[in-house]
């Protein structure tokens, strides 16, 4: 059982959405929080808002920029020390058909959603290994299992994040290290990032989702899929012919048309 009390927890995408909520929840459990976000003003607002709850450190960082990540890691190690729990939460999405993406949008989506978790983990993992303790949680997406129109690059980035995260879990097991790895696979979350999405399946609420993620870390879960029924996606993919899977998930459940009216947080 992992605990947050007196632990140093680094959270990316910490100034809004479930990142901000997870900061609050971890603080309430007695953690010291290192907040990483591209939005400096929002970081300062969150730091002020949560200042009475515990120790917070705030670092404005564009996690698509390896130079900024490197500088942040060096500073955190000097000013904060060893990170006990790392939550790779930052993410972006571009709601367009693939051919409508610019090369810059492709590059940035992959950088934020796929490369940043690996880069940031790389800087803090060795110390966890040396101390034979720690926990790395990566927020992938149900899009890390299910293909979907108008989010091809996002899907690619989240497949990469999910595959890397669970491979890291297996590596820690082979190395006989007590560094725990948790991969989170949520459906759409109502944070503004996916405004305009129309779904027959209920969109997840941020507070409840954040609480489930924190609980998954405490219970050292390997995977957390939300909602619960999506835990059977890989079973369905393995058992059903692809055209039947497309019919059930795409047409009957309406997943393949959820992005038709997407408006939220477009990265132009």
Q: How many CB atoms lie within 10 A of CB 28?
A: 13
Q: Which of 57, 97, 119, 154 is catalytic?
A: 154
Q: How many CB atoms lie within 10 A of CB 211?
A: 15
Is-catalytic flag, 223?
A: no
The residues that are catalytic are 154
């Amino acid at each position: 059982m992992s605990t947050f009390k007196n632990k140093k927890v680094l959270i990316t995408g910490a100034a809004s959405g479930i990142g901000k909520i997870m900061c609050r929840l971890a603080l309430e459990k007695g953690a010291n929080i290192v907040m990483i976000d591209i939005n400096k003003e929002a970081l300062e607002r969150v730091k002020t808002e949560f200042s009475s709850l515990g120790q917070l450190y705030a670092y404005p960082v564009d996690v698509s920029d390896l130079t900024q990540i490197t500088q942040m890691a060096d500073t955190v190690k000097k000013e904060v020390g060893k990170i006990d729990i790392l939550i790779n939460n930052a993410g972006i999405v571009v709601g367009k058909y693939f051919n409508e993406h610019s090369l810059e949008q492709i590059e940035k989506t992959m950088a934020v959603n796929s490369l940043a978790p690996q880069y940031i983990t790389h800087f803090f993992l060795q110390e966890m290994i040396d101390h034979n303790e720690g926990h790395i949680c990566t927020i992938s997406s149900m899009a890390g299992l299910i293909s979907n129109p108008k989010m091809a690059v996002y899907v690619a980035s989240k497949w990469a994040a999910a595959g890397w995260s669970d491979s890291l879990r297996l590596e820690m097991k082979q190395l006989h290290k007590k560094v725990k790895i948790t991969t989170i696979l949520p459906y759409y979350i109502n944070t503004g990032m996916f405004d305009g999405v129309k779904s027959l399946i209920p969109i997840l609420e941020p507070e409840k989702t954040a609480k489930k993620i924190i609980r998954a870390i405490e219970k050292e879960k390997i995977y957390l899929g939300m909602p619960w029924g999506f835990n059977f996606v890989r079973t369905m993919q393995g058992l059903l012919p692809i055209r039947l899977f497309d019919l059930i998930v795409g047409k009957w459940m309406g997943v393949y048309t959820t992005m038709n009216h997407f408006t939220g947080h477009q990265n132009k």
